[in-house]
Structure 1
């Protein structure tokens, strides 16, 4: 394992009157792959540039292993970096580009350098391209050269800023698996910034969600998707339906909410527990994922939550996404995800009953904001 622990303590960055990063604490374990996500202006890039040493923090410390690197310039932090623009030297071959960090550090020369270069070329599956120039490579191959160059000197931490952003969708997905394979084989510590939530969920051991310079939640992809800490995370990670409701009491150990005059919805718990004190009449957001809603033809299921009209149905291969407007709450349109075979029964304009998996309903304070 080449990775070291990365610890950010009380890290802050301020530009004049604007706080780019506020009091952030984050500990990344050796060999862990952590993605940082958030909307534009959330502070994720500022966080990365401070770790890299391109920006000095206003306050706080950055430690790699047992070493405080906060005052060190980028070239003394020994961090590997991969960016969306690969910044390969056009006049150097693949082998020369990859070997460049070793030569600059005077870490290896002669036979040991050739041996290390061959090892890395095999790892990224580019041995046969050693003598080609960057303009003779595809986008995916150039990206692998950039990754190999960042790995060749066994850095304790690797920073990646939108490294797959320039690739088309199919190649991007293929490279996600390739990057994860390489990272796991080496045991590299990776901090990965991306605007693509699906990419972060697919690749990461943990995902950190930022908003307006503050860390909202860090957890495994399963935790963030299934148990978001607040409405912002719920809305930003994946797709979430929100329905306004009012707390009316308890029934059989479940909280009961009124969402329309004669429509009740139940939820097993309140998402942030003791932080919310439920009293009758409390307004809340009720949240449910599209895959946790099913449909039945109108009048066929008496256990349904309510009635609606299908406004649209879009085919996505194995699934269909349907937009259903609630009859009793016409301001609310729910997104429903069904297997393609089931969706054929519900054409645009169909009257349907909605069946919500109440065990999956989550609740959040009405005052919380959503993702931008």
Structure 2
């Protein structure tokens, strides 16, 4: 069986009263891991431990089958780019990029100098090499920091919220740049962020943390569509999470929301792992909720009910509707679909859902 390229097992780290607890994950060569979680959950602390800046009290880290748990930061040589770029103000852009190579006494190698020129060109900063950090914009500083972090082809590149302080246009450009770097360099990348859009656009794997623990991990879309807990669903801003229970009706099992006398089903057996009457939560993403002009004949469809539009929110990519009828519902339409349906506040609609597009959270 093939061993992971980078493997972390049962890692525990203490800092005062706070502790990272039993953190375990693995990466194959060339994977891009996104770490999500609320402020104070231990994301940066984990990165610093991976880099060797903090010493764990227990656990193991293996890199290419070598135990690096007690290696110093210089020996493990991971690349690290912080949120605020941390450039040296008294060094030029060129000297900042070469700083890590200088520490390894490689800054005069022709191969390193040529690589620096290629990176600077790819990142659009070749014209800035003789400038000093005070003359750079936020996006330019981040590009310099990233170039410095990857210049010597680190075995793993660690990124601590590298895009959070940037304006939307620069953030979009930097996302594209990170994607290109990952594809062209084939680096293992571990990226801490609060932005789930970054996770979907960049990550091949995702970890969600809370209070020093990993509470879920997997492929980003799988975590998004199948959160294991109310915390994960809430943190990822999952819409339409409804409390209820499973009931047996004529030999099949259905979800019933007691408060609004609303049922959907029958539920596929694979969605249910426990007995009837247990409290569960049903989740329907806004994009999975179908919206049609009000028509009583549509109520003959499975899992359909009437409502009215209470609020309309238009943004650059889609239109969000808040509908009221047997509860409060969030729906999302493309701008073209919204215009075609001619829906506005007060419009009567019929909502429906394909039961295959629902998700049960049985362990809230």
Give the TM-score of the pair, scaled to structure 1.
Answer: 0.87
Match status 1:346 vs 2:358: no
Superposed CA deviations along residues 41-70 of structure 1, whole A, max 9, x for unmatched, are: 322222112112222112111222232222
1:316 equivalent to 2:315? Answer yes
Runs of 4 or more off by more than 6 Å in structure 1?
Answer: none
Q: Distance in 1 between matches of 2:154 and 2:267?
A: 46
Deviations 1:126-181 (A, max 9, x none): 32322222233332222111111011111111110001111101210121011110
Are the counterparts in 1 of residues 225 and 359 from structure 2 also a CA contact under 8 Å?
A: no
What is the Cα deviation at residue 248 of structure 1? Answer: 1.6
Distance 1:111 1:364, change over 3 A: closer
Deviations 1:69-100 (Å, cap 9, x if unpaired)?
22233233211100111111222222111112
Q: Is the 8 A contact 1:314 1:321 kept in 2?
A: yes
- Specify the alignment match of 2:253 in structure 1: 255
Secondary structure of 1:215 counterpart: strand
Cα deviations by residue, 1:13-41 (Å, 9 ceiling, x for unpaired):
234554x3211211111211101101123
Query: What is residue 284 of structure 1 aligned with on the other side?
Result: 280
- The 1-side partners of 2:287 and 2:307 are apart by 17
CA distance in 1, matches of 2:250, 2:23: 41
Structure 2: stretches of 5+ with no match in the other structure: none
Q: Corresponding residue for 1:14?
A: 14
Q: CA RMSD in A?
A: 2.3
Native 8 Å contact 1:267 1:361 kept in 2? no
How many residue pairs end up in the alignment?
355
Counterpart Cα distance in 2 of 1:29 and 1:50:
19
Deviation of 1:269 after TM superposition, in Å, equals 3.6
Q: 1:346 to 1:96 in 2, by over 3 A?
A: same
Check whether the contact 1:34–1:208 (CA below 8 A) recurs between aligned residues: yes
Q: CA deviation at 1:272?
A: 6.8
1:240 maps to what in 2? 239
Report the alpha carbon displacement of residue 325 of structure 1 after superposing the two structures with TM: 2.1
Give the distance between the partners of 1:230 and 1:269, measured in 2 at CA.
20
2:332 to 334, 337, 344: 337
- 1:172 maps to 171
Which deviates more, 290-299 or 151-160?
A: 290-299
Cα distance, 1:170–1:41 mapped onto 2, change above 3 Å: same
Does structure 2 conserve the Cα–Cα contact (< 8 Å) formed by 1:264 and 1:305?
no
Q: Call closer, same or farther: CA 1:217–1:146 in 2, change over 3 Å.
A: same
Could you say what secondary structure the match of 2:265 adopts? strand
Match of 1:265 in 2: 264
Q: Secondary structure at the match of 1:295?
A: strand
SS at match of 1:22: strand
State the alpha-carbon separation in 2 of the partners of residues 318 and 15 from structure 1.
43
Identify which range, 107-116 or 139-148, moves more after superposition: 107-116
* Runs of 5+ consecutive residues of structure 1 not aligned to the other structure: none
Aligned residue for 1:67?
66
Q: Give the superposition deviation at 1:108.
A: 4.3
* Distance of 1:267 and 1:57 partners within structure 2: 49
- Gap change, CA 1:243 and 1:49, over 3 Å in 2: same
TM-score (norm 2): 0.89
User: Given that residues 318 and 340 in structure 1 are in contact (C-alpha distance below 8 angstroms), is that contact kept between their aligned partners in structure 2?
Assistant: yes
